[in-house]
Each structure stands twice: as structure tokens, then as C-alpha cells.
A and B are shown apart, each in its own frame.
Chain A
Amino acid sequence: MDHLLEVKDLEVKFALRMGDLTAINGVSFTLDRHERLGLVGESGAGKSVTGFAIINLISKPGYISGGSVIFEGKDLTRLTDEEMRHIRGNLIGMIFQDPMMTLNPVLTIGTQMVETLQAHMNISRKDAEQIALKKLRMVQIPSPEKRLQQYPHEFSGGMRQRIVVAIALLADPALIIADEPTTALDVTIQAEIMELLLELCESEGTGLILITHDLAVVSQVTQKIAVMYAGKIVEAGQTEDIIDNPLHPYTQGLIKALPDGRNPGTRLNQIPGVMPSLIDIPPGCSFHPRCSIRGDICRHESPALREIPGYRNMAACHMLGLKKGQPEKDRTK
């Protein structure tokens, strides 16, 4: 079956005076129609860069240095700016963290929604307004006719993010990329927005890539999770497998580091150290300096994302799937 989106060996570099920095180093995943994927990681893991690279919005000095992004059969990395504009906001909708930055403060909501529609289709202002009203109703904005005439500052944070969701949905996209859509919001509002996003994706059959640092949020919304660390996917699988049976030592550490209310007052499991900066990514497995099960091979050879015998998750770790007593150097590559 054809995938809705297939990202293959994606590589993004930033050209700096000191040389090229690799921000994304061979990221591959697929997303089918109606599927929701969570891209999870801490700051600097490269999850947002991956999101931007999919819609070809990496700005200089960054550039896509390798790999492909196949969306509905077309390689997005090879499209012209003109062709790409037809895809963004039309076939792929985007939601970002800060609604105040996404919305234009000097235009009414109505103008912004109508403009977006008119940019993508030949449509009269009146018809466009009708579609805008319909979408505002879908995201449950009360009295949408009145709200259409208002400016972003007249809305609360939660309402603004609803409007951003409505704008992303305007052209009925096949895929929505949401980058930390609720990080700036309070928990009660986060719950509302996430439920809304989930319901809309389900009813409209829209694919979703949810980029976030919050595993708990992802666990409520997506079917699949890919965990990123230092520009690579280190573990990928079905949501319940990743949460209930994480394999990669980083994923395990991340989940154990979350206070989950089960043992209040006890010391939390901490991963020593911090994520490396792009300037000095360690050789071999980039997680090895913080890893508790590292072996010799981890210091000089970078592990590939592979299936682990006996498990359903894919993981990038040399030390997984070894038989008891089997020396690590015997591992077939």
C-alpha cells in the first residue's frame, strides 16, 4: 500500500563558518492515511527541524542535504517554491506552538482565513467566508460570525490556538503537522485542544504528525511514536509498545524520569548528563556517554534503527537483542 508520507534517510545540515553541522542525520519513517504519529524528544533532538524539513521550510543557513520526503507520490524536497506553496496550507496544514506568532496581529481572523483560502483556490470572498465559518464552528468557537470580525488580541490563548487549528483545516489537508501545539497553554485548555485535534483528525481522516516533548500528551493522541535523540530516531513503534515496553535505554530513562504519581517523595530516575549540542555529537552511538548499558562497540560505531528479535519496537542500539553471554563484537551488522 502506498503511504501518505514516506520520509527516507532525511538529512538536514546547517552551513556555518566552522563547517556543516548535521541537525538531522538519516531520519526515516512512514505515515499512512488516517494515521497519527508522535515525534518525541527533548530540546535539540531535531524534532522541529524534521517537521520543517517535511514542508521544505528549512531556512538558510540550513538545507536538506540528503534523503527524500515522498508525499502522495511526489518528492517534496525536489519541488520548486511555486509547487511547494501549493502543498503547504493546502495539502499539508501546520500548527505551531505560539498562536500569537502564527496569526497576523493587524488583520482580522476573517481576513486571514479568507486570504488563506483564496491563495489556494479560485473562490469568491463570500464563499470563502462560508468555509471559514464552517471551520470555526468545527473548532467550537462560539458566535463565529462575530468572531470573524475580530483581531487576534481579542481572543484568549486557548481560543487563538483553536483558530490556528481552524486555519490549518481550511483547505481540508491530508496531513497536519502540529509542533508543540499546546506547550504554551494551561492543562485544562491543553486537554480541550488535544481532544479537538484528535476528534477532527478522526472524523476528517486527516493524518497527524504531533511534535512534542510531552510523552503523556502523545500517548493520548497518536497510534505510533518515534523517539528522537541528537538528530536521529532511536526508537519507533506503536504507542502502547513504546510506553509500556520501551527498549532503548534513552526511552526507558525518559519514561522513568517522569514523576507518575506512583511513588511520591522518592528519588526520580535521572539520566546523567545532557543531550549533546550539534557542535560536539559524540562518535559512535550519540547516546553512549549517558548510557548505562554501553559496550565498546558503542564508542565508535553508530547503531542503525533495526528490528529487535522478539520485540515489536524498532530501536537503534547495539546492545539490544544480544543473547546471554554473547560477546558484543560478534553482533552481525
Chain B
Amino acid sequence: MNDRLIDIKNLVKHFDISGGLLEQLAFSGGRIVRKRTVVRAVNGVSLFVHPGETLSVVGESGCGKSTLARALLGLYPPDGGEIYYRGDRIDGLTQQEMLPYRAKMQMIFQDPYASLNPRKTVQQTLEEPVVFHNPSISGSEAKDRVAEVMKQVGVDPTWADRYPHEFSGGQRQRISIARALMVDPEFVVADEPVSALDVSVQAQILNLLMDAQEQRGLTYMFITHDLSVVRHISSRVAVMYLGRVCELAPAKSLFESPRHPYTHALLSAIPDLYDRRHTYIKLKGEVPTPINLPPGCIFHGRCPHANERCLREIPALVHQGSEVYVACHAIEEKRL
């Protein structure tokens, strides 16, 4: 399993949103019954990440991409499936057992206003993970590390004693990236790291992330809905729809020849600066809620190629050659 830094097998994460006992009770057929409401956020996702690559997970709101990322890092306990890190199984570990992996896997969040503690100086924020993972480190060593990483992410180290509110959005995102880099991770999950930023600042942060990857040999998992960013930075892309992966392919081949009908529709909806008035594929209907998942292929209700088999049988993610995996009966049956 040398070519797989992360291996996710059949990951499932459901959220029970039924609330308290009284809220669960409902009247049905003259009797009081207890009803549970479950959001099926991630339903059997299998993915792997090669060392040194950038795997992007894309999809529209509610497709489960953020839940997948958080379950992967152990922030949500998964309800099923397995997660491996360099061949070691890491789901279901105790906090103590998880510690060494936490230093290897870091996360960058979308909103740099919410993810930095407003009452801590940059120095305190950046020092915390280092001291936590190396309790023996001396104060001056920690300080040197902070200065070094701050310089790398393009924030003047003399500003270490300032508070987050004294920085602009782009600067704050640089500090969030610095925090993730402080413990020398191998794998960084970035959940919409540039979505809250303006275009000119977005370019600065993407450049910084690409530089850091080159210098440190990082592996990224990029969660985003912005497909132009995805096309620019990823080596491979996983397209998610309603908690399942419908296509996993190298970025170039995904953008040039998408296979899955949903990928087709998604890509056609990106407005292109140089292709004015281009046509997009209109999907019928809307995304179903993850509370009432349709049977069979989750996309069948909106798919122009759905047949009777799609209504009852869930398609598996099948290898189509040259690293392309697609979950679609129509493609499997060579109808598409």
C-alpha cells in the first residue's frame, strides 16, 4: 500500500437530527410512533490519496464533502467503513492513540474569521500545536519556529504579538495555513480555503499553498465547490453527489472528458470568461434531501440516461482504466 497515503473504504457518516424523545413522537394510523430523522451525509465513500498529490473533492452544497473531510481526520466518528493512514487503520482509535496521527494530518478551514481565536495573539495561536505535540520544546525554540513559519507564509514575524482582528482576511488565511504547517504535517485537508477571499487575494493564497506543497512535499485534500480553482491545482478530482462519489479521475481527463452524467452537467455550468453565452446542461428537478435518499442510483431522478436498473440498484465505483473510476450503470453497460 505504498502508493496510498490515505485509504478510505466504504465510509459512512449519518447524523441523527430527530432531537429529544418528545420531538420524535408522531401520530400515525391512530397510534403514537417514535420516528427518527437521519441525515445520510456520507454513504459508503471509497477513496484513496497518493502521497504528494492534490486530490480535490468537489460537489454542491449538501453533497457531504466537508463531512467526509472531517470524518477522515477523526473530527466526526464514522458510522461505518475503514480509514487507513499509510496502511495503519486509524478510525475508532482512542484520543491517545490518535495523537501521533494528528500531528501528521492538519486542517485549514474556510472562514479565517471564525477559525482563529480572537483572544489569542498570532504567537499564541501558532505556538500551541508545537508545544502540544512536543512538550519538551523550549520557549525560545518554539518562538524561532513560529518566526520561521510566519516568514514562509508571507506574514511579517514582527507582527506575532498582534491579534487576528488586526489582520486582513487574506493575512488571516495565511496565519491559518501557518498554524497547519507548524507541526510539519504530511497531509493537509483544506476545506474551502479560498472561498471567502477576493479574487486577487485568492491567487496569493493558492500560490502560497502550491509553494508549500513543493517545498515540503505535502499531500493535499482540497474540499471546494469552485471548479476553476480545482482545475488549476489538482492532480485528481473526486466528484460527490448526495454522499457518494460518482466519479474519481485525474484532473486533466475529468475536465477534458467527463464520464458521469452529473459531472457533465456540473462542468457545463461553470461560466467561462472567454466562452460567452455557452450552453449548459439543464438538469431536471432539484437535489433530493439527504434525509430521504432515493433508492437505486441517487442521481436517477435527474439523469437523462436513467433506466429501470438505475431505479433499484446502486451503481458501484468501477475502474474504467487509466485511473478513472465511475459509478454509473449506463457507462458500465456501455450505453454511454
Contacts and interface: CB of A to CB of B under 8 A. Distances in A.
Interface of A: 42-43, 156, 158-159, 186-192, 194-195, 213-217, 219-220, 239-240, 243-244, 253-255, 257-261, 263-265, 267-272, 274-275
A145 B269 CA distance: 30
A255 B233 contact: no
A30 B255 CA distance: 39
Contacts of B273: 215-216, 219, 243, 255, 258, 260
A190 B268 CA distance: 12
B225 A187 contact: yes
B232 A190 contact: no
**A-B CB proximity, top 6 nearest:** A259-B232, A257-B203, A42-B198, A186-B60, A191-B269, A216-B271
Interface string B176-202: 000000000000000000000011111
A188 B283 contact: yes
Nearest to A159: B286
A265 B286 contact: no
Contacts of A244: 274
Contacts of B276: 219-220, 239-240
Contacts of B252: 264
A146 to B, nearest CB: 16
Given A187-B269, A261-B228, A261-B255, 9 more contacts: A159-B286, A187-B60, A191-B269, A216-B271, A254-B199, A258-B273, A264-B252, A267-B210, A268-B232
Given A156-B286, A213-B198, A261-B231, A271 B203 contact: yes
Given A190-B269, A213-B199, A254-B200, A267 B207 contact: yes
Interface of B: 60-61, 168, 170, 198-204, 206-207, 210-211, 225, 227-229, 231-234, 251-252, 255, 265-266, 268-274, 276-278, 280, 282-283, 286-287
Nearest to A217: B271
A258 B199 contact: yes
Contacts of A213: 198-199
A270 B207 contact: yes
Contacts of B201: 274
Nearest to B252: A264
Contacts of A217: 271
A258 B228 contact: yes
B210 A275 contact: no
9 contacts: A188-B269, A190-B269, A194-B271, A214-B271, A220-B271, A239-B276, A270-B204, A270-B207, A274-B201
A42 B200 contact: yes
Contacts of B206: 259, 268
A271 B229 contact: no
Contacts of A192: 282
Contact of A188 (B200, B251, B265): B265
Contacts of A194: 271
B214 to A, nearest CB: 10
A279 to B, nearest CB: 13
Contact of B60 (A188, A216, A255, A267): A188
Given A188-B265, A240-B276, A265 B203 contact: no
Given A220-B276, A255-B273, A264-B252, A188 B266 contact: yes
A271 B232 CA distance: 18
Q: Which of B201, B265, B273, B276 lies at the interface centre, i.e. has the most chain A CB atoms within 10 A of its CB?
A: B273
A188 B299 CA distance: 14
B198 A260 contact: no
Contacts of B233: 259, 264-265
B266 A187 contact: yes
A268 B206 CA distance: 8
A46 to B, nearest CB: 14
A188 B283 CA distance: 8
Contacts of A159: 286
A269 B233 CA distance: 14
A265 B210 contact: yes
Contact of B61 (A186, A257, A263): A186
B199 A42 contact: yes
B199 A216 contact: no
Contacts of B170: 274
